[in-house]
Structure 1
Amino acid sequence: MRHVIGKVVWLGLMLATPVAFAQSTSAAKEPRAIVSLYRVAPGKHEAFLKWMADRDAIDKQLGLPRAQWYAHYQGDSWDYVAIAPELTDAQQKKEDDAAKAKGLTFGAKASVEFRQFIASHTDTVAFGPMSASELAGAVNTP
């Protein structure tokens, strides 16, 4: 429970970082992650998790970085949080090609299909993962 609260607090701190940090040239060199919060439509949890697991299996098969998932336990109204490294264009193409080969949707069609499972969601691009020391150093670099 404390780990989930800690992650949510850390996420809040990351989102509150000033715009100047995003414009820092040293910060642009830091790894990026996509933080996604999902509120799943009633009755769609099992289908949502299977849909995501099918895509996770592709990433595993291709050796691509995979999302870390957190399930809601207590507190806010989200159901799941996923934190995944931002893929390069080449990695995304490999993922799309593999999805197509397995008969899964990809691109715009996958985006529409995905929405049948979701009541609401947000995606945020963040710098990280980093330690607090690394983050402080990135903010203080001219």
Structure 2
Amino acid sequence: MALLLAAFLAFPVGAQEPPPYSVVSIYRVAPGKHVDFLKWMAAREAVDKEAGVAPTQWYAHQTGDSWDFVGVSPNIDDATADRVDEMARKRGLKVGPTASIEFRSIIASHTDTIAVGPVSADFLLKGATGK
């Protein structure tokens, strides 16, 4: 990851559009809470859609590692996050610390990582080599 960040920072200023940033989230759902998790996420995804936020790309575990779901979503700015929270409140959804507590009742663990992307390998190569 540090190499990718260094490669991105090596891009000359003004050489091209800055890349998008995404949030990559990996979820392990609490036993027996998979449907609750999906309902929770679907409710928030509906708010995001209404607010004009690009949809999360979801991946569901089939075989291999211990995660249940991976979501890749846009890294939104504070003003958009505030607008989404206000819209969620109007729908009766919890936000802030109470939403965090509610969310943690349906998951075993999760991680969130800010990443550059989606971009092409060529984009990263140009950043890494300066060519």
Question: Which of the five TM-score ranges fits, normalised by the shorter chain?
Answer: 0.7 to 0.9
Task: State the 1:21 CA deviation.
Answer: 3.5
Structure number with larger C-alpha Rg: 2
For the residue of structure 1 that corresponds to 2:35, the secondary structure is helix
Pair 109,58 (structure 1): closer, same or farther in 2 beyond 3 Å: same
Unaligned runs of 5+ in 2: none
Pair 24,96 (structure 1): closer, same or farther in 2 beyond 3 Å: farther
- The one-letter code of the counterpart of 1:37 is I
1:17 paired with 2:6, answer no
Aligned residue in 1 for 2:44? 55
Pair 88,41 (structure 1): closer, same or farther in 2 beyond 3 Å: same
The TM-score with structure 2 as length reference comes to 0.87
Aligned residue in 2 for 1:122? 111
RMSD across aligned C-alpha pairs, in angstroms? 2.2
> What is the total number of aligned residue pairs between the two structures?
128
CA distance in 2, matches of 1:80, 1:117: 13
Task: State the 1:91 CA deviation.
Answer: 1.1
Question: More helix by proportion, 1 or 2?
Answer: 1
Task: State the 1:138 CA deviation.
Answer: 2.1
Identity %: 48
CA distance in 2, matches of 1:86, 1:60: 14
Unaligned runs of 5+ in 1: 1-14
CA distance in 1, matches of 2:109, 2:20: 27
Pair 63,18 (structure 1): closer, same or farther in 2 beyond 3 Å: closer
